Structure formats: structure tokens, C-alpha cells
Amino acid sequence: MLLAFLGSLILWARDATGEPAVTWLALGTGTGGLQIELGLKLDPLSRLMLLVVTGVGSAIHIYSWGYLHADRNRGRYFAGLSLFTFAMLGIVLANNFLMLFIFWELVGVSSYLLIGFWFARPAAAEAAKKAFLTNRLGDFGFLLGIILVWAALGTLSFTELEARLADDPAALGAAASVAGLLIFCGAMGKSAQFPLHVWLPDAMEGPTPVSALIHAATMVAAGVYMLCRVFFVLAVPGSVALELIAWIGGVTALLAALLAVQQNDIKRILAYSTLSQLGYMVLAVGVSGASRDPSVAMYHLTTHAGFKALLFLGAGSVIHALHHEQDIWKMGGLSRRLPITFWTFLLATLALCGVPPLSGFYSKDAIIARTLESGHHGLFALATLVAALTTFYMFRLVFVAFTGPAKSQAADHARESPPVMTLPLLALAVPSVLAGFWGIHRVYGAQYGAEPAAAGSWAQQLVEPFAHAPLAAGAGLAAALMGWLGAWAWYRAALQDPLPARFATVARWLRDRLYFDELYERLIGWTQESLARLADGVDRWVIMGVAVKGTHGTFELLGRLLRLAQTGNLQTYAFVLVAGVALLLFLVMAR
Amino acid sequence: MSVGLTHYLVVSLLLFCLGLFGVLVRRNLLVMFMSLELMLNAANLALVAFARYHHNLSGQIMVFFIITVAAAEVAVGLALIVALYRQRRTAHVEDLASLRL
């Protein structure tokens, strides 16, 4: 893993681009045939994503060694993790839709395996199944989208597709919106966007490093990565796909942020936070239609991968120290007991909340500014609100879990995790703090043909957002401040959650996740029940009744009729014989 | 009035109908069997008459064949009837309906 990271660094340093490809399968010939190539695509987008995957992946592999040191099934765990990394790198490097799809599915499988790593726990097994099925639902749309694109343009290679769409933007015709939305379906499943968001919080049943790697930093980001990769399909003029994508992203961000406010499981809070940030990224893709440059989404993806992995690993460290206690109301006072975990966690929280000069501020600000620039004022307000909520729930978590008195025995006797776990925390803290200065958005910008802006000095970069779009930066900061004040007022010294007492109904709704699971259960249950009833009716009446019983009945009736002729009386037979002969004679003679 | 072909054929037809009638209405197997022989002989009579009036011997040769076959048939048929009688103590067709379902 570390070797892979070093390799990516070398690729990065050498500024490598290229697209080696071999033809893997050729179905049919000529222009109508399906040529499937197995190829790699290296460009700024995939190079930086490689760094993210291998970098975060390395930290998490090392961390897992400490987290799972007592688990008998460590071999299976690392096999799953490696399979995931392989598949994820496949997605990053794929140069055509089909390869992307194959690795996409592989990622889904490894995610399934790792969520269900503790398969003996029913909740984990259920969560794995749920994640897999929900993903399949999205992937079905994705596959349809791929087929649609292939049917319209006759190629699956990204390079060729882009060239073709650049030549003739109307090549997809009326199917553009449909294709875009179908492809977005895949991202919707993988990146857990509303309404397919339900699997991600449940996926927290897996081991915490898995949650960090797969369900926070990389796999769920694959959806966003894919959207950026095929942005040229989505951004076809006349397609409404982007507008819808923006709104779905916005709704997801808001919904998840609201739900996070009333969760008590430390990992679930982070899961909803991930959902919310993914919503941000999707929103960023959606509002980038005018500028034809979704680099802000990738920017946030990159910084988010760093600090969210850090948050999850910090949460894992807390859980590990507290012997698998995940309820934040049974923690408290951990800042003294787990200093390294606390400080790195706090840094990541600040980054997530968008406090300058940490990385999250720059990327989040870029998104809010882009929303404002593109004229989506509703989405701008929504994004700002989400920023406030983000700070609120994150500091609720920090205040409750890390400050105040210890609320349980375990919290009182917690000990800091071993270095094999804290070192990755420290390593990940670096990008969380500094990623804002590395000019990541410029790298991604190059992918979409933006003119490379001159990198200013550190001081200039520090204040760049304020100079660039003061309103957005100000709004983001004000939102963060408000959220912090709210959390400070309510949770600074709370021993139990004050919200359910004040807003009982709302709090209950939020805690029960707005009843999405129940709704889906009913809906799917109802659909399945009616389908089953229909199938049963068809089986009972059409197949059993008409086909089986009808055939059998007809022949039985015929048999009974024929039996009447068999009297067993010799003379009756003789008479019939004679009558038959007479009839034949008559017929022959009468001519 | 000279006796012509038609007379023979009429006699033959009468014989045949008598035989047929016997087969259809008599209940005793032995009598039915005899009626059957009557029908065969009616056919023989017709064949001989045709051979005589057409000056063609093949009709008479056919009669020989029929008599031979009839003899064989009588042997087999009587043997069957005797066997049946020994088994069932009856030669009445209405009692021999075990083929009926």
C-alpha cells in the first residue's frame, strides 16, 4: 500500500499523462461493433485521485493493524481491504465506461464484504445486504445509462466520447438528459444521495477503519469522481441533468445534516456528516454546468477524504479505547484521557466546519461561491444553512464526547491508543490542515481546460476566498460561527440531550431518521406483496387452472366419452363393424 | 325360366344376410360361429357362380383357399370356445363381457 502511494507520488511528480490501452474484447466488427478496451487513463484528475486513494488507504491500512490486532479473522479483513483498494484504483484509472462499471461493481462487492465483516452480528449482515441492494439499484440505472450512451455514440472510451461530444454537442440528442440522469443514478447509489442514502448510515456496522476508508474517504467519493470523469456527458447543452443533480445534492446535504443533529452514535453522526458533505460535492457538480468545470467538487472531495478519514479514525480510536462503546452520551472528558485523538479530531472537525485556514474552509467556500456565481440563490442559502448545521452537530459531538465530566466508567478509564493507531491520525492531520494551500483546485482545473492561475504567495492564498467571493466566504464563516454558538450554548456542559425536551416531535422525527427506512420498508414490502399476489394468481389460475387442469380435464372428458363405446358386448362390436362396412360400401358405391 | 347368375347371387346374398343376422342376434357363441361359417359359404357360392359364368377358374381356386382357411379357423375357433367354456362354464356372449371397464 505504501509502495503504491510512493508510486503515485512519483507519477505525480513526473506529471505523467497518457492513456495506454489494449483491446480486450472485440464484439462484432466495423463501426457497429462493440470494442471493449482494457486501458488506463492518466490525467490530472486520476493522478490526484490516485494520491488520495493510496494516501488515505496507506494510513488506514496501518491503523487497521492496531485496531484489529486481536481479531482472528484479520486475514479476511486485509484481503477485503486490498480487494477494495484494487477495485478503487481500477475506477480511478479506467479509461472507458465498461471498465469503470466492472470496477464499480467490484468496489460494491468489497464494500459488502467489509460491512459484513462481523457477519455473526445480525445488524452487520443486514447492513451489508442493504448496502449491496441499494447500490445495485443505482447501478442498474448506471448500466442503462452506459448502454444508452453507447447506443447513441457507439463508443465507451472516455477520450473518444469527449471528442465526439466536443465535435457535435447535439450528438446525444433528446437522450442527453435521460442518459445523464441514468448515469447519475449510479453515483446516487454509490455516493448515497437522496433517495438512495439509506444504506450509508447502516454501513457503519463494519469495522471503523473500513468506515473511514470506504464509507467516508474513497468509495462514496467514487460517485462524485465518476460524475467529474464523465462531466462532458452531463454538461451537454440542453440537458436538465445537472440542474436536477444540483438539487438532489442540496437536498441530500440538508437532510443528512438535519438527521445528524439528533444521532447519538458517534459513527452515525459521522456517517450523516459524510452524506451531507457528499451532497455538497454533488451539488458542486450540478452547479458547475455554466463554467464547464466541476473541479470544486473534486477539490472538496480531496480535502474531505483527508479530514473525514481522520474523523473516522479518531472515532475508531475512541471506540477502541472505550471497548466498543459508540454512544456519545456515555463518553465525556476524553480530551484529557486521549489527547492525541482529541487534538487531531478537533482539527478535523474544524476543517469540516470550514474554519480558516484549514483545508475544509477553502474547498467548502469554493462550492458556496460557485453556487452563488452560477445564480442558484436557493441552493446558496441551502448550502449556507447546511454549513451552520455541520458546525452545530460536529461541535455537539465534540462537546459531549470529549469535554465535560466522564459519563461512564469506561470513559473514566480510557487509555490512549497505541502508536500504530495514533501515527496515522497525525499523518492525516497534515492534509486536513494544509490541503487548502496546495492548489488542488488548480490541478483539477487543468483537467477541464481552465487557464492555470499563477499560484500566489501563502499569504495571498490564505485570504484568496475573501478576495474572490467575499459574500460566500463571509456567509460560510458566519454560518459556522452560528452553528458553533448553538452547540456551545446547548451542549457545553450537557449531561443529556436538551433538544428532545424542547422540540420533542422534531427531535423524535430526526432521531428516527424521518422514517425513511420505514417508508422504504412499507413501500418495498407493499410492492413485493402485490407482485407476489399477482404471480400467485397467475400461477393458481392461469398456469394451474387453464394450462394444467384444462389439458387434463379435456382429455379426461374425451376418455370418459370414448369409454361409453366400449360395452364389452361382442355383438355390439360386430354390429358396429357391419354398420361401418355398410357405410363404406354405400359411400364407395354411391359415387 | 333359366337359372342365371342373378339367381345364384340372390341366394348367396340371402345366405350371407342369414349368417349376418345369426351373428348379430344369437347369443350362443357356438351358433354365432356356425352363422359365421354360413357367411363364408355365401361368399363361396358367389365366387363359384362368378367363375361359372365368366369361364374363369380363379374364382373356384379362391373358394378352395377359403374352405382351407375356414377349416383352420373352425379348428382354432372351436378350440377357443371349448377352452372358454371349460373356464367359464358358459358359452353365452352376454356373460363374456369382462373387457368392459
Quick: pLDDT tens for A143-175: 888 888 888 777 777 777 777 777 776 666 667
Strand partners, A96: A157
C-alpha cell at position B24: 348379430
Give the closest-approach CA distance of A530 to chain B in angstroms: 49
CA distance A345 to A353: 12
pLDDT digits (tens, 9 = 90+) for A383-425: 888 888 888 888 888 888 777 777 677 666 767 777 777 777 7
- Cβ-Cβ contacts under 8 Å for B23 (sequence gap 6 or more): A571, A574, B32, B35, B36, B39
Beta carbons of A570 and B101 less than 8 Å apart: no
pLDDT given for residue A568 in this prediction: 73
Q: Kindly list the residues from chain B whose CB atom is less than 8 angstroms away from the CB atom of residue A569.
A: 93-94, 97, 100
The x, y and z cell numbers of residue A236, run together, are 451537454
- Classify burial at A186, counting beta carbons within 10 Å of its beta carbon; exposed 0-12, middle 13-18, buried 19 or more: buried
Q: Which of A114, A253, A100, A264 is nearest to A191 (CA)?
A: A253
Can you tell me the distance from the alpha carbon of A431 to that of A358, in angstroms, rounded to the nearest whole number? 9
Q: Tell me if A74 sits within 8 A of A68, measured CB to CB.
A: yes
Say whether B24 and A575 touch across the interface (CB within 8 A): yes
Q: Residue A265 has what DSSP assignment?
A: B
From the list B20, B32, B94, the residue facing A569 with the nearest CB is B94
Q: A571 and B101: CB-CB below 8 Å?
A: no
Q: pLDDT at position A454, please?
A: 46
Query: Looking at per-residue confidence, does A440 or B17 come out higher?
Result: B17
How far away is chain B from the Cα of A567, in angstroms, using its nearest Cα? 6
For residue B25, the chain A residues in CB contact (below 8 A) are: 571
- How far is A561 from chain B, CA to nearest CA, in Å? 13
Q: Count other Cβ atoms within 10 Å, centred on residue A324.
A: 9
Higher pLDDT, A93 or B37: B37
Question: Which residues of chain A neighbour B32 with C-beta distances below 8 Å?
Answer: 570-571
Q: Note the ipTM here.
A: 0.79
Cis check: omega of the bond before A237, within 30 degrees of 0: no
Q: Is the Cα dihedral A570, A575, A576, A578 positive or negative?
A: positive
* Contact assignment for B101 to A567 by CB distance below 8 Å: no
Cis peptide before A195 (omega within 30 of 0): yes
Distance from the Cα of residue A89 to its chain's centroid = 16
What residue in B sits closest to A566 (Cα-Cα)? B100
Residue with the larger pLDDT of the pair A70 and B18: B18
| DSSP result, A509-572 | HHHTGGGHHHHHHHHHHHHHHHHHHHHHHIIIIIIIIIIIIHHHHHHHHHHHHHHHH----HHH
To the nearest whole Å, the CA of A573 is away from the closest chain B CA by: 9
Q: Which residues of chain B are within 8 Å of residue A566 when distances are taken between CB atoms? A: 99-101
In chain A, what residues touch B99 (CB-CB under 8 Å)?
566, 568
pLDDT of residue B95: 78
SS3 per residue for A48-115: HHHHHHHHHHHHHHHHHHHHCCCCCCHHHHHHHHHHHHHHHHHHHHECEHHHHHHHHHHHHHHHHHHH
Q: Could you give phi then psi for residue B2, rounded to 5 degrees?
A: -90, 150
The single residue listed with the C-alpha cell 488507504 is: A57
For residue A576, what is the nearest residue in chain B, using CA coordinates? B24
Mean pLDDT of A433-458: 58
Neighbours of A570 (CB within 10 A): 17
CA distances from A589 to A235, A450, A583 (A): 89, 103, 10
Residues 6+ apart with CB under 8 A from A178: A145, A148
Q: What local confidence, expressed as pLDDT, does residue A451 receive?
A: 46
Q: Report yes or no: A562 at the B interface, CB cutoff 8 Å.
A: no
Overall size of chain A counted in residues:
591
pLDDT over 60 (residue A456): no
In angstroms, the CA A289 to CA A271 distance is: 28
Grid coordinates 477520450 are at which residue? Answer: A159
Mean pLDDT of chain A: 77
With bands split at pLDDT 50, 70 and 90, how would you rate the model's confidence at A522?
confident
Q: Could you tell me the CA-to-CA distances from A57 to A5, A37, A214, A424 in Å, in that order?
A: 8, 28, 9, 10
Of B24, B96, B99, the CB nearest to A574: B24
Answer whether A568 sits within 8 Å of B97, measured CB to CB: yes
Chain B residues closer than 8 Å to A561 by CB: none
- Per-residue cell: A341: 485523538
How far apart, in Å, are the Cα atoms of A578 and each of A212, A583, B66? Answer: 96, 8, 20
- The span from the CA of B80 to the CA of A516, in Å, is 88
Residue with more model confidence, A144 or A37: A144
pLDDT at A440: 62
Assess whether pLDDT exceeds 60 at residue A19: no
pLDDT reading at A106 higher than 80: yes
Residue A568 touches partner B, C-beta closer than 8 Å? yes
| Chain B interface with A: residues with Cβ < 8 Å | 20, 23-25, 27, 32, 93-94, 96-101
Residue of chain B with shortest Cα separation from A578: B20
Q: Is A578–B20 a contact, with Cβ atoms under 8 angstroms apart? A: yes
What burial class does residue A420 get, using C-beta atoms within 10 Å of its C-beta: 0-12 exposed, 13-18 middle, 19+ buried?
middle
Q: For residue B72, what pLDDT is reported?
A: 94
| A258 phi, psi to nearest 5 deg | -65, -45
Buried b (16+ CB within 10 A) or exposed e, A229-253: bbbbbbbbeebebbeebbbbbbbbb
Q: What is the mean pLDDT of residues A224-234?
A: 82
Interatomic CA distance for residues A182 and A147, integer angstroms: 10
CB neighbours of A115 closer than 8 A, spacing ≥ 6?
Answer: A124, A127, A128, A131, A203, A205, A206, A210
CB A411 within 8 A of CB A333: yes
Helix crossing, A470-491 with A377-402: angle to 10°? 30
